[in-house]
Structure 1
Amino acid sequence: MRNRVIAILLLIGAGAILAGCTAPPAQSPPAATTPAMTAAPVTTTAVPQFSFTLGQEYLHKKYSFASESETFSEQFHVTNDPWAIVFTVNPTNLDPQYTWFEITATNIDSGRSETFGYGRSYPLDKYQQHPMYNAGPYRFDLKGNRVSVDVIIAKRNP
Protein backbone atom coordinates (compact mmCIF):
# COMPACT_ATOMS: atom_id res chain seq x y z
CA MET A 1 0.00 0.00 0.00
CA ARG A 2 2.78 2.36 0.94
CA ASN A 3 4.52 1.77 -2.42
CA ARG A 4 1.30 2.61 -4.27
CA VAL A 5 0.90 5.92 -2.42
CA ILE A 6 4.47 6.89 -3.27
CA ALA A 7 3.94 5.87 -6.91
CA ILE A 8 0.70 7.90 -7.12
CA LEU A 9 2.38 10.97 -5.58
CA LEU A 10 5.26 10.63 -8.05
CA LEU A 11 2.81 10.40 -10.96
CA ILE A 12 0.91 13.47 -9.74
CA GLY A 13 4.19 15.40 -9.33
CA ALA A 14 5.40 14.37 -12.78
CA GLY A 15 2.06 15.36 -14.30
CA ALA A 16 2.23 18.78 -12.62
CA ILE A 17 5.75 19.35 -13.92
CA LEU A 18 4.80 18.28 -17.45
CA ALA A 19 1.73 20.51 -17.36
CA GLY A 20 3.84 23.48 -16.29
CA CYS A 21 1.98 23.98 -13.03
CA THR A 22 5.17 24.41 -11.03
CA ALA A 23 6.90 26.83 -13.40
CA PRO A 24 7.09 30.46 -12.28
CA PRO A 25 4.49 32.73 -13.90
CA ALA A 26 5.52 34.07 -17.29
CA GLN A 27 6.56 37.68 -17.25
CA SER A 28 5.41 40.04 -19.94
CA PRO A 29 8.21 40.99 -22.38
CA PRO A 30 9.77 44.43 -22.08
CA ALA A 31 8.19 47.21 -24.12
CA ALA A 32 11.00 47.44 -26.69
CA THR A 33 11.84 44.00 -28.01
CA THR A 34 13.62 42.86 -31.13
CA PRO A 35 11.56 40.60 -33.40
CA ALA A 36 12.84 37.06 -33.82
CA MET A 37 14.96 36.46 -36.90
CA THR A 38 13.60 34.22 -39.62
CA ALA A 39 15.53 31.50 -41.39
CA ALA A 40 16.45 33.79 -44.30
CA PRO A 41 16.62 37.41 -43.05
CA VAL A 42 16.28 40.22 -45.55
CA THR A 43 18.51 43.15 -44.84
CA THR A 44 16.96 46.52 -45.54
CA THR A 45 18.03 49.98 -44.69
CA ALA A 46 15.43 52.02 -42.90
CA VAL A 47 14.65 55.16 -44.80
CA PRO A 48 13.78 58.12 -42.62
CA GLN A 49 10.59 59.77 -43.78
CA PHE A 50 11.18 63.41 -44.68
CA SER A 51 8.58 65.81 -45.88
CA PHE A 52 9.51 68.91 -47.78
CA THR A 53 8.54 70.78 -50.90
CA LEU A 54 10.72 71.21 -53.94
CA GLY A 55 11.78 74.38 -55.66
CA GLN A 56 13.85 74.90 -58.80
CA GLU A 57 14.49 71.61 -60.57
CA TYR A 58 17.85 70.40 -61.81
CA LEU A 59 16.33 67.29 -63.37
CA HIS A 60 12.81 65.95 -63.84
CA LYS A 61 12.72 62.90 -66.05
CA LYS A 62 11.00 59.53 -66.42
CA TYR A 63 13.16 56.43 -66.92
CA SER A 64 12.08 52.92 -67.92
CA PHE A 65 14.06 49.78 -67.21
CA ALA A 66 12.97 46.62 -69.03
CA SER A 67 16.04 44.60 -68.06
CA GLU A 68 18.97 44.70 -65.64
CA SER A 69 21.39 45.70 -68.40
CA GLU A 70 19.78 49.12 -68.96
CA THR A 71 21.52 52.04 -67.25
CA PHE A 72 21.31 55.82 -67.47
CA SER A 73 23.68 58.54 -66.35
CA GLU A 74 23.15 62.26 -65.82
CA GLN A 75 25.67 64.91 -64.81
CA PHE A 76 25.26 68.53 -63.66
CA HIS A 77 26.38 71.05 -61.03
CA VAL A 78 24.36 71.45 -57.82
CA THR A 79 24.44 74.83 -56.02
CA ASN A 80 25.05 75.40 -52.33
CA ASP A 81 21.32 75.36 -51.52
CA PRO A 82 19.86 72.29 -49.80
CA TRP A 83 18.52 69.91 -52.44
CA ALA A 84 16.88 66.53 -52.69
CA ILE A 85 16.48 63.41 -54.75
CA VAL A 86 12.83 62.35 -55.07
CA PHE A 87 11.59 59.38 -57.03
CA THR A 88 8.38 57.49 -57.65
CA VAL A 89 8.67 53.86 -58.74
CA ASN A 90 6.05 52.10 -60.86
CA PRO A 91 6.79 48.35 -61.07
CA THR A 92 5.99 46.76 -64.43
CA ASN A 93 5.98 43.25 -62.95
CA LEU A 94 3.75 41.99 -60.13
CA ASP A 95 6.48 39.83 -58.59
CA PRO A 96 8.59 42.08 -56.30
CA GLN A 97 11.65 39.84 -56.60
CA TYR A 98 12.11 41.02 -60.20
CA THR A 99 11.46 44.74 -59.74
CA TRP A 100 14.13 47.07 -58.37
CA PHE A 101 15.66 50.50 -58.88
CA GLU A 102 18.89 52.12 -57.71
CA ILE A 103 20.26 55.66 -58.04
CA THR A 104 23.81 56.60 -57.03
CA ALA A 105 24.73 60.28 -56.58
CA THR A 106 28.49 60.81 -56.80
CA ASN A 107 30.20 64.13 -56.07
CA ILE A 108 32.80 64.25 -58.84
CA ASP A 109 35.20 66.50 -56.87
CA SER A 110 35.29 64.47 -53.65
CA GLY A 111 34.39 61.02 -55.02
CA ARG A 112 31.83 60.61 -52.22
CA SER A 113 28.69 58.78 -53.29
CA GLU A 114 25.32 57.92 -51.81
CA THR A 115 22.99 55.24 -53.13
CA PHE A 116 19.23 55.00 -52.73
CA GLY A 117 16.75 52.55 -54.16
CA TYR A 118 13.65 50.42 -54.28
CA GLY A 119 13.48 46.61 -54.00
CA ARG A 120 16.27 44.10 -53.46
CA SER A 121 18.00 45.32 -50.30
CA TYR A 122 16.14 48.66 -50.33
CA PRO A 123 12.70 49.47 -48.91
CA LEU A 124 9.64 48.79 -51.05
CA ASP A 125 8.42 52.37 -50.64
CA LYS A 126 7.34 53.46 -54.11
CA TYR A 127 7.69 57.17 -53.24
CA GLN A 128 10.94 58.29 -51.60
CA GLN A 129 12.49 61.65 -50.69
CA HIS A 130 16.19 61.93 -49.86
CA PRO A 131 17.56 65.29 -48.65
CA MET A 132 21.02 66.23 -49.87
CA TYR A 133 23.27 69.07 -48.71
CA ASN A 134 26.63 69.38 -50.50
CA ALA A 135 27.21 71.50 -53.58
CA GLY A 136 29.38 70.56 -56.52
CA PRO A 137 29.43 68.68 -59.78
CA TYR A 138 27.47 65.44 -59.50
CA ARG A 139 27.03 62.34 -61.62
CA PHE A 140 23.86 60.31 -61.16
CA ASP A 141 23.91 56.66 -62.21
CA LEU A 142 20.52 54.98 -62.51
CA LYS A 143 19.82 51.30 -63.01
CA GLY A 144 16.88 48.99 -62.45
CA ASN A 145 14.79 46.12 -63.68
CA ARG A 146 11.15 45.99 -64.75
CA VAL A 147 10.24 49.43 -63.41
CA SER A 148 9.51 52.90 -64.66
CA VAL A 149 10.71 55.68 -62.39
CA ASP A 150 9.90 59.38 -62.23
CA VAL A 151 13.03 61.10 -60.88
CA ILE A 152 13.17 64.69 -59.63
CA ILE A 153 16.37 66.31 -58.42
CA ALA A 154 15.64 69.82 -57.18
CA LYS A 155 16.37 72.51 -54.62
CA ARG A 156 14.39 72.16 -51.40
CA ASN A 157 12.18 75.00 -50.27
CA PRO A 158 12.89 76.39 -46.81
Structure 2
Amino acid sequence: MVMNIKHLILIILLDYIIPGQSIKCYICEYNINYCKTPHCYNNYDVCSANQFASVLVPVRECPRNCMLKAVTNPAGIVLKWKRLCAPEDDLTRGFSCRIDYVFGARIEQCTCDKDFCNHTESIIMKNPRYFHLLVLIILIIFISI
Protein backbone atom coordinates (compact mmCIF):
# COMPACT_ATOMS: atom_id res chain seq x y z
CA MET A 1 0.00 0.00 0.00
CA VAL A 2 2.81 2.42 0.93
CA MET A 3 4.60 1.67 -2.37
CA ASN A 4 1.44 2.43 -4.36
CA ILE A 5 1.03 5.75 -2.56
CA LYS A 6 4.66 6.63 -3.31
CA HIS A 7 4.08 5.89 -7.00
CA LEU A 8 0.95 8.03 -6.96
CA ILE A 9 2.83 10.92 -5.34
CA LEU A 10 5.59 10.61 -7.95
CA ILE A 11 3.07 10.66 -10.81
CA ILE A 12 1.32 13.73 -9.39
CA LEU A 13 4.65 15.53 -8.91
CA LEU A 14 5.74 14.75 -12.47
CA ASP A 15 2.39 15.94 -13.82
CA TYR A 16 2.77 19.18 -11.88
CA ILE A 17 6.41 19.84 -12.77
CA ILE A 18 6.67 18.63 -16.38
CA PRO A 19 4.12 20.22 -18.72
CA GLY A 20 3.02 18.42 -21.89
CA GLN A 21 4.24 19.39 -25.34
CA SER A 22 0.86 20.63 -26.52
CA ILE A 23 -2.36 21.77 -24.92
CA LYS A 24 -6.03 21.51 -25.83
CA CYS A 25 -7.80 24.75 -26.69
CA TYR A 26 -11.33 25.67 -27.69
CA ILE A 27 -11.55 27.00 -31.26
CA CYS A 28 -14.52 29.19 -32.20
CA GLU A 29 -15.50 32.65 -33.33
CA TYR A 30 -18.54 34.87 -32.99
CA ASN A 31 -18.96 38.12 -34.87
CA ILE A 32 -22.13 40.20 -34.45
CA ASN A 33 -21.68 41.73 -37.92
CA TYR A 34 -22.58 38.41 -39.53
CA CYS A 35 -26.15 38.55 -38.28
CA LYS A 36 -28.87 40.91 -37.16
CA THR A 37 -30.48 38.72 -34.46
CA PRO A 38 -28.97 36.50 -31.76
CA HIS A 39 -30.53 33.42 -33.41
CA CYS A 40 -29.01 33.58 -36.90
CA TYR A 41 -29.22 30.38 -38.90
CA ASN A 42 -25.50 30.17 -39.70
CA ASN A 43 -24.07 32.15 -36.80
CA TYR A 44 -25.71 31.05 -33.57
CA ASP A 45 -23.46 32.26 -30.76
CA VAL A 46 -21.89 29.35 -28.86
CA CYS A 47 -18.55 31.13 -28.42
CA SER A 48 -18.95 34.36 -26.42
CA ALA A 49 -18.82 34.38 -22.61
CA ASN A 50 -22.57 34.46 -21.96
CA GLN A 51 -23.42 31.87 -24.64
CA PHE A 52 -20.41 29.53 -24.48
CA ALA A 53 -21.36 25.88 -25.06
CA SER A 54 -18.25 23.73 -24.67
CA VAL A 55 -19.98 20.61 -26.04
CA LEU A 56 -20.63 22.42 -29.35
CA VAL A 57 -17.22 24.05 -29.72
CA PRO A 58 -14.37 22.20 -31.47
CA VAL A 59 -11.14 21.49 -29.61
CA ARG A 60 -7.67 21.58 -31.16
CA GLU A 61 -4.21 20.59 -29.97
CA CYS A 62 -2.15 23.78 -29.88
CA PRO A 63 1.66 23.84 -29.87
CA ARG A 64 2.05 26.38 -27.06
CA ASN A 65 -0.81 28.36 -25.57
CA CYS A 66 -4.50 29.09 -25.90
CA MET A 67 -5.85 32.55 -26.61
CA LEU A 68 -9.10 34.40 -26.12
CA LYS A 69 -9.91 37.65 -27.91
CA ALA A 70 -12.99 39.73 -27.14
CA VAL A 71 -14.16 43.03 -28.61
CA THR A 72 -17.02 44.93 -26.94
CA ASN A 73 -18.50 48.31 -27.74
CA PRO A 74 -18.76 51.12 -25.13
CA ALA A 75 -22.22 49.81 -24.13
CA GLY A 76 -20.71 46.40 -23.32
CA ILE A 77 -22.25 44.57 -26.29
CA VAL A 78 -20.04 41.79 -27.63
CA LEU A 79 -18.99 42.60 -31.20
CA LYS A 80 -16.50 39.77 -31.64
CA TRP A 81 -15.38 36.84 -29.52
CA LYS A 82 -12.69 34.39 -30.59
CA ARG A 83 -11.08 31.37 -28.92
CA LEU A 84 -7.99 30.05 -30.68
CA CYS A 85 -4.41 28.81 -30.47
CA ALA A 86 -1.95 31.52 -29.52
CA PRO A 87 0.86 32.27 -31.99
CA GLU A 88 3.76 29.83 -31.67
CA ASP A 89 6.09 32.63 -30.54
CA ASP A 90 3.84 33.40 -27.54
CA LEU A 91 5.85 32.45 -24.44
CA THR A 92 3.22 33.25 -21.80
CA ARG A 93 3.55 31.18 -18.63
CA GLY A 94 0.37 30.90 -16.60
CA PHE A 95 -2.16 33.54 -17.56
CA SER A 96 -1.73 36.96 -19.10
CA CYS A 97 -4.34 39.44 -20.25
CA ARG A 98 -4.03 42.72 -22.10
CA ILE A 99 -6.82 45.25 -22.56
CA ASP A 100 -6.70 48.05 -25.12
CA TYR A 101 -9.27 50.65 -26.17
CA VAL A 102 -9.54 51.55 -29.85
CA PHE A 103 -12.14 54.10 -30.99
CA GLY A 104 -14.18 53.35 -27.84
CA ALA A 105 -14.17 49.59 -28.37
CA ARG A 106 -12.65 47.45 -25.61
CA ILE A 107 -10.26 44.79 -26.96
CA GLU A 108 -9.30 42.09 -24.48
CA GLN A 109 -6.64 39.56 -25.45
CA CYS A 110 -5.75 36.81 -23.00
CA THR A 111 -3.30 33.93 -23.31
CA CYS A 112 -2.82 30.93 -21.05
CA ASP A 113 -0.89 27.66 -20.95
CA LYS A 114 -3.25 24.97 -19.58
CA ASP A 115 -5.70 22.60 -21.27
CA PHE A 116 -9.04 24.31 -22.00
CA CYS A 117 -7.93 27.50 -20.25
CA ASN A 118 -9.64 29.68 -22.89
CA HIS A 119 -12.98 28.64 -21.38
CA THR A 120 -15.72 31.08 -20.31
CA GLU A 121 -13.93 32.97 -17.57
CA SER A 122 -11.52 35.22 -19.42
CA ILE A 123 -10.26 36.91 -16.28
CA ILE A 124 -10.16 33.88 -14.00
CA MET A 125 -8.38 31.11 -15.86
CA LYS A 126 -8.68 27.99 -13.74
CA ASN A 127 -5.62 25.82 -13.18
CA PRO A 128 -6.41 22.11 -12.71
CA ARG A 129 -2.85 21.45 -11.57
CA TYR A 130 -3.58 23.13 -8.24
CA PHE A 131 -6.03 20.32 -7.56
CA HIS A 132 -3.25 17.76 -8.08
CA LEU A 133 -0.96 19.70 -5.78
CA LEU A 134 -3.66 19.81 -3.10
CA VAL A 135 -4.15 16.03 -3.39
CA LEU A 136 -0.40 15.56 -3.04
CA ILE A 137 -0.27 17.68 0.12
CA ILE A 138 -3.19 15.78 1.64
CA LEU A 139 -1.51 12.45 0.83
CA ILE A 140 1.75 13.57 2.44
CA ILE A 141 -0.09 14.68 5.58
CA PHE A 142 -2.07 11.42 5.64
CA ILE A 143 1.09 9.31 5.30
CA SER A 144 2.87 11.31 8.03
CA ILE A 145 0.14 10.62 10.60
Q: TM-score, normalised by structure 2?
A: 0.27
Question: Is the radius of gyration larger for structure 1 or structure 2?
Answer: 1
Q: TM-score, normalised by structure 1?
A: 0.25
Higher helix fraction (1 or 2)? 2
Higher strand fraction (1 or 2)? 1
